[in-house]
Structure 1
Amino acid sequence: MARRENPLSAPVDADGRLSAQMRQMRHTAGFSLTEAAERAGWSTNHLSQVENGKQAPSELLIIDLDALFGADGLLLSLYEEVLSERRHRALVSAVEARAREVPLMREAVGDDRWLPEPGTVLPLTGDHAEWWGDITIPAGTILERGSLFTKTWRLRNAGDVEWRDRFLKRIGPTAASTLVHSPRAVQLPVTLPGEIVEVTVACRAQWIPSTSVAHFKMSFADGRLCWPDRYSHGVDLLVTAIEGPSCECMSCRVKDPQAAHAAHASREERQEWMAARTMARVVRSN
């Protein structure tokens, strides 16, 4: 009889998301821990330690498992997030990291922003959210590398707390050669209990052909997560980038109408395109 595996804790960082994805893909492929370790050429104990977050994985292990599970680069993309977070932690303290992103959100709402009092236990009593679907770019969408696209989700305020001065914030790095590029945060409009808000984020597909996933969670203007121990994955987008033209000009023979000259547009043009298409609006009330 196969040994029962201990459940993993809800992921709170890139290491946790990688471990959870490794186990999920192993189960989907129908491998026990021992079978996966033997087929990949690693010890069962080592793979167990990595899956449970007790030992850091090597790039070689991730390459072997990505191939074994047929992940098409998804594990490598998550590993890139892990490396980015490690570099980030090594360079700056958590306070310095927050200081860089919080002013952007504070500036957006001004000095009269609403914030929970310091020391308030989060989440707030009665504060709940429901995911109401992907409006654009469903999980697994295939895009040409470097192409610009807009991702839209619908979220419902399922509690009895008004959402005011909140943001949908990207968790982890916002860009890398194998990661989808996106803004750090999108401000949400005031959303009353029962209302549905539509959130659109302008993104650019990763430049290296691979599969990439990006996670977003709701936060207050000071960077605190609204639900620090709930909705572990937040909302996400998952795309696979492939080789091919990624521009809609005639010379590139456009394939994606939203590409917007991503192949050779200037940096300023791309930033302007992304800023104009990153927004949120209430679309329905109960």
Structure 2
Amino acid sequence: MTPSRPRGRPEAPLSPPTTPLEQYGAAVRQYRHLHGHSPAAAADACGCTRSALSQIETGKLRPGADLAQAIDDVLGADGLLVDLYHASRPVSRREKERLEQARADAPPLVLDPADASDWVCDVTVPDGTLMAPGETFVKTWRVRNAGTVAWEGRYIMRQGPLAGPTLIATKRLTPVADTQPGDTLDVSVICRAPRIPGTMTARFKFADRWERLYFPNSMPDGIIATITVDENRTPRDA
């Protein structure tokens, strides 16, 4: 699709997204702007009306799967917008009730002052590693259980949005192995580089399955993955 120059009145800015559907819509608009497509031209190429595209971008309309795929293809998102689309699936009332009940039944999270962690090293993908646009990689850190509390049933949790045009894409929660005091643990997360060149960072912290943080007041940035996307680079597994 050839980029088109926007015409008419300037588009009204979006409010900060607060729901998965609004995050999806905001990402659609970001991709459209990054590629210089007007609303009318993008809507025509995607096979929908401009009104429908506007409602999608503002989080008021969730498109069907075929249209979501067309939007991803037209805007060259390489599957990222499709991932955000699936993440925006509305949760049914029954699912909400089940989740709320599970959280209510969960044992209280005890933050023991004897519980501590130390970052040891990057095992893979050192900070600043060059990546091709859209490249999938596995980031692994080595950490040590530096306290006297055994780690059981823990997860590493992504902080902030999970994906976007200029963000590293990951899952929210990744389980980690149980670890005894004094032992080291290799923590791995599957990541995907964005399509837009630049340097970006993803942050992670330890949490339980209900997304409650174990070390809420220590290491404000958690453990991080920082990469630089180079548009002239080819994927390492190519």
TM over 0.5, yes or no? yes
Partner of 1:88, secondary structure, is coil
Q: In the alignment, is residue 202 of structure 1 matched against residue 190 of structure 2?
A: yes
- Alignment of structure 1 residues 59-74 onto 2, 5 Å: none
Tell me how many residue pairs correspond in the alignment: 151
Alignment match, 1:88? 18
Out of 75, 94, 117, the residue aligned to residue 108 of structure 2 is: 117
Answer whether contact 2:132 2:229 (CA < 8 A) is retained: yes
In structure 2, the CA distance between the partners of 1:190 and 1:143, relative to structure 1 (3 Å rule), is: same
More helix by share: 1
Instruction: Please give the alpha-carbon distance, in whole angstroms, between the structure 1 residues aligned to 2:233 and 2:223.
Output: 29
Contact 1:209 1:241 in 2 (8 A): yes
SS in structure 1 at match of 2:119? strand
Aligned to 1:138: 126
Partner of 1:164: 152
Check the 8 A contact 1:84/1:173 in 2, yes or no: no
Contact 1:205 1:241 in 2 (8 A): yes
CA contact (8 A) 2:131 2:233 kept: no
- What does residue 218 of structure 2 align with? 230
Three-state SS of the structure 2 residue aligned to 1:223 is coil
- d(CA) in 1 for partners of 2:143, 2:117: 7
Question: Over residues 135-189 of structure 1, what are the superposed CA-to-partner deviations in whole Å (9 max), with x where a residue is unaligned?
Answer: 1111111111111111100111110111111100000111111111111111012
Separation in 2, partners of 1:233, 1:84: 28
Question: For residues 147 and 199 of structure 2, what CA distance do their matches in structure 1 show?
Answer: 34
RMSD between superposed Cα atoms in Å = 3.3
Q: 1:132 to 1:84 in 2, by over 3 A?
A: farther
Match for residue 47 of structure 1?
A: none
Deviation, structure 1 residue 197: 0.8
Aligned residues: percent identity?
34
Distance 1:176 1:85, change over 3 A: farther
Distance change in 2, residues 1:193/1:229 (3 Å): same
> Deviations for 1:105-152, whole angstroms, at most 9, x for unmatched residues?
x99xxx8xx96526x4xx322000000110111111111111111110
TM-score of the pair, normalised by structure 1: 0.47
Gaps spanning 5+ residues in structure 2: where?
1-12, 23-87
Distance (whole Å) between structure 2 residues aligned to residue 191 and residue 85 of structure 1: 43
Residue in 1 that maps onto 2:170: 182
2: CA distance between counterparts of 1:204 and 1:194?
32
Question: What TM-score results when the alignment is normalised by the length of structure 2?
Answer: 0.56
The letter for the 1-side match of 2:143 is: L
Cα deviation, 1:38-62, whole Å, max 9, x if unaligned, reads xxxxxxxxxxxxxxxxxxxxxxxxx
**Which residue is 1:191 aligned to?**
179
Q: Which residues of structure 1 form unaligned runs of 5+? A: 1-82, 248-255, 260-286
Q: Which residue of structure 1 lines up, in the alignment, with residue 115 of structure 2?
A: 127
**AA aligned opposite 1:132:** V
Distance in structure 1 (CA, Å) of the matches to 2:119 and 2:150: 17
Which letter does structure 2 place at the counterpart of 1:208?
A: I
Q: CA deviation at 1:90?
A: 10
Would the alpha carbon gap of residues 242 and 85 (structure 1) be closer, same or farther in structure 2, given more than 3 Å must change? Answer: farther
CA 115–173 in structure 1, closer or farther in 2 if over 3 Å, else same: same
What amino acid is aligned across from residue 18 of structure 2 in structure 1? H
Matches within 5 A, 1:233-272: 233-244=221-232, 246-247=234-235, 256-257=236-237
Q: Distance in 1 between matches of 2:157 and 2:200?
A: 17
Distance 1:245 1:134 in 2: 22
Matched to 1:117, the amino acid is: P
Find the counterpart in structure 2 of residue 217 from structure 1: 205
Superposed, which structure 2 residues align to 1:47-66 within 5 Å?
none
2:136 aligns with 148
Q: In structure 2, what is the Cα distance between the partners aligned to 1:88 and 1:163?
A: 32
Distance 1:186 1:203 in 2: 11
Cα offset for 1:209? 0.7
> CA separation in 2, counterparts of 1:243 and 1:172?
25
Gap change, CA 1:146 and 1:191, over 3 Å in 2: same
